[in-house]
Structures are given as structure tokens and as C-alpha cells.
Amino acid sequence: MKKTQEHKDIKGEVATRYLAIYVRVSTDEQAREGLSLGEQEDRLKSYCKALGWTTEVKVFIEDGYSAKSIDRPKLNELLSEVKEGLISKVIVTKLDRMSRKLLDLLNLIELFQDYNVSFVSISESFDTNTPAGRLTLQVLGAVAEFERERNSERVFENMFHASKGGKWLTQPPYGYDLIDKELAINQEEEVIVRRIFNEYLRKGYSYLRIATGLNKEGVEAKYERGWSHRTVKLMLLNPAYKGTLVWNRVNAKKKKREEKDEKDWVVVDNCVPVIVDKETWDHVQRKMALNPGVAPRAVSSPHLLGGLLKCGHCGYGMSVSNSGSKDRRYRVYRCSANKNKGMCISKQYRADEVEAWFKEGLGILFEKCIPSISLSMRRKFAENKRTELEKKVQSSKARYNRKVEAYSSGLIEIDDLKQEKVRYDEVQELLNNYQEDEVHVYDVKELESLVQNRIKTVVDAIDVLPIEEAKPLLHTLVEKVIVKGERDIEIGLISI
């Protein structure tokens, strides 16, 4: 239902509604076009005076807000007063002062019409109280939105070509400074980056433990107040540290940031100063993928196999409790399904005995199983290599198709298209010629040496270090331990 043209004041008497002047400028617009707030206000007041509109005028000033969203403080205040019946006209200098999106603009005008408020734009010379004004508004709004999308495409093309050339288009990550749109290593921060990768990969620290250590030492983060679990995790995932620039990975236009399809990413290798060698970075990614969510309490548990030990009967985790008489208490591992639900027939095991079996089992792996473990890892590396090549082919094909479209539109020269075709053919040839039994990252001896060193480090840590320091190392090697009976356990290792 439409509202009346009048409203009542505090005394209950009928009062005339006022005119609302809305002026807006975002910082980048003011710098680019000189659209000052004062200039807009003067023009609008002069327009009202010229037309003989003597009603009281109220000015709504929106300073530093983009028109991409209509969720703006002064606009919200204006809309609130429209709904209260206090406003008769809303006047702007141009349509885009209110909104750059046609749908948002039309929704606002529909709201104004519901409350008998006309919308006037002086640059386009129309008033929505007339049918001609409403038609003109829709046409001009559509044209404005079309032009904005065209501008967005041009900006994307410019940023696309800049990123392909190795230019960094956002804030520099921790460890770098941005100089002339190129990253340069910050030597103080570089030390912290290397420390984080080392503590996660070699020492087995969790994201939270790494962050806690940095906060206790007073190490400043780059953009946040202190370090967090999420900050550390995102750093470990950042390919910039191995020298790779990745752009257009996330769709930032949506309220909830979503990762785009990998074929749409712009990936440029070897264009950023390297802080972490590729081998270390790849190891970290494999570890994060294979062990994404070990519960913090499992790592911090004062019991060696807490969080790792599983029941061989039902697969549930086994927790630690105390057993025995009052004078002779001892620790036991007991199936959680048996303890909490009575659903499993598994018995409880003395903790010191199970931990002794586990150490013995690791010793057997160390002495006898290295060749079979390295063979399994060799196959895993081969599979990963093929998958990596297939992804590169997909990405290269997508880039080539985009270049074809760009050439068809006259945006690039034929030489650029030919170069992209050569790169695509090279990656495709690598995949075609790849043999499953080839290992390009490590040979068998290097694999065996890697596994031996890791197991020896963990075994030594168990015997020498306190439990709270040995456990993180243990989680870098062991994925799970299954107890099946007396001296019968199974140890599952994480791929290294």
C-alpha cells in the first residue's frame, strides 16, 4: 500500500515532507575524476532552486563507499526515512551515485514508488514520477551496467597479462616486500618463513603450536594481530615461497570467497624469489593432504600412542585410563567403543606393553621393510607425477583457448598465440612420453635413505625426548597403530 504525501510532526500536526539530496564518492573516483562531495551538493541545491523547489532540503553525504553494494551507512539512513514518510524526492547528480547495478537500482526505485517518493537524476534529466522517466531510467541503467561489465573485462585482461609477466597484483605475502609490483625478499621475515616450514615438516609441530611459539616470542605478523592457526596454515599452502605466482584462484566477487576451477588459474613458475626449495614445499603439501586434521589433544596427550592407537576388532580409537589396585595403579589402553558403549569385545592392554611392542615394530620396519616401503613410495611418486602433468596439460589447454579468444578479439598478436601453442604442445608431449615406472624426483637409494633417516629420527626421539616433544615427530611418520592381540600390532606409515 502506498503512503500519503504528508507526515505528522511531534504534535500530531500534518507537516510537509522534505527533499533528500544524496551525494557519494569513493576514494578512487575522487582521485580519478574529481567528483568532490561539495561539487555534487552545490549542483543539486542549485538545481532545486532553479526549479523553484522551496521545500526543506536534507543532505545525505556518503564519503568513501563504492556503488557496487547498496549496503552503505547514509543510504541506509535515507531509506529508513523514506519508509517513515519523511521524504518526497530523492535527488542525485548521476544514476551511478545511487548504484551501478541495474537490479539494485530498480529495487530502490520500486521502494521509492511504494512510498510515493520520486527519484530525480539531474544529469540524465528525468523524474521517475513520469512514465517516460521510468523508461529512460531502465534504458540508461542497462547501458551503465553494460559499460561497467565492459570496464571490468578490460581490467581483468590488463591484470591477466600483468600476472603472466610475473607482476604481483595483491598485498605481498609474509616474507616479501613489494617493490614496483615485484616481490623482493624481506630478510628478517624470510627467517621466520623457513622456521615455520621446518617446524611443521621436520619437528612435526601443529599449526597452533607454531603460532603459539611465534606469539610468545613477540614475532610480529604482517597484517594481523599476532599469529593464528589459520595464518600458519595459509602460509604453508602459499606457492609463492617456492617461486610460483598464482593469480585468479579465488572468486572474490561473491560474499563467500570460492576457489575457481584450476583451469582458470594463472600460474607462472620461477618468477618469484624463492624462500623454500620446491622439494620441501612439495613435502609439506603431501603431509597436509595426507594428515589434514589431527586433533590437537591427540598430539598433546601425555601418552605416546594417544590419538594413534586403534582397536583391531572394531576400528574405534583407544583411550588411556588407569587400572589395578589402589596401591598398584598402571595405565591401560582401552577401546572407546567398549568403554563407552559396550559394543566391542576387545580387552584392555597395559600401556607400557603396547608402547614396547610399537617400538619393537618400528625397529623391524627400520631393519627389514625399507625396500618395500621405498617401492611403494616410488609408485606413489610416479602416480603423483602423472596427475601433476595431467593438471598442467588442462591448465595449459585452458590458457591456449583463452589466447585464441583474445586473438580473435584483436587483443593480442599472432606471435603471442603461437608461443602459447608451443608451450601447450611441450606439456602435452611430456605427458605422452611419461612412463609409469620412471621416478623423476628421487631414485630408489634416495628414497630408502629418506625413509631410514625419518624412522631413525623418530625411534631415537621416543627413547630420548620427553613425550610432549617426541609425539609431534611421531605424527610426521605414523598415521595409525592397530592393536590386534598380544604382541600383534600393525603400524601404518604416512607417505613421506
Reported as type and span, the H/E element at residue 267 is strand 266-268
Output helix, strand, coil percentages for the chain, rounded to the nearest 5.
Answer: 50, 15, 30
Contacts of 118 (CB under 8 A, 6+ apart): 88, 89, 90, 112, 127, 128, 129
**Local structure of residue 466 (DSSP, 8 states):** -
Ramachandran angles phi, psi of 120, nearest 5°: -125, 130
Cα 342 from Cα 90, distance rounded (Å):
71
State how far the alpha carbon of 223 is from the alpha carbons of 171, 227, 287, in Å. 10, 10, 27
Nearest to 309 by CA among 286, 291, 333: 333
On whether the CB atoms of residues 345 and 335 are closer than 8 A, the answer is no
Buried b (16+ CB within 10 A) or exposed e, 192-210: bbbebbebbbeebbbbbbb
User: Contact 143/115 with Cβ under 8 angstroms?
Assistant: no
Q: In 3-state terms, what secondary structure has residue 168?
A: coil
26 tagged catalytic: yes
- The answer to whether the Cα torsion of 215, 221, 226, 230 is positive or negative is negative
Can you tell me the distance from the alpha carbon of 355 to that of 308, in angstroms, rounded to the nearest whole number? 11
Catalytic, out of 26, 66, 300, 495: 26
Side chain identity, residue 205 = Y
Indicate the SS3 state at residue 121.
strand
Determine the Cα–Cα distance for residues 489 and 474; give it in Å rounded to an integer. 16
CB-based burial label for 214 (10 Å; 0-12, 13-18, 19+)? buried
Tell me the H-state helices in 409-443. Answer: 414-433
Question: CA 78 to CA 474: how far, in whole Å?
Answer: 62
CB-CB contact of 323 with 330 (8 Å): yes
Whole-number Å distance between alpha carbons of 40 and 483: 77
Integer CA distances (angstroms), 197 to 97, 182, 282, in order? 48, 23, 11
Q: Is the separation of the CB atoms in 25 and 137 below 8 Å?
A: no
**Cell numbers 614396547: residue:** 356
What residues act catalytically? Answer: 26
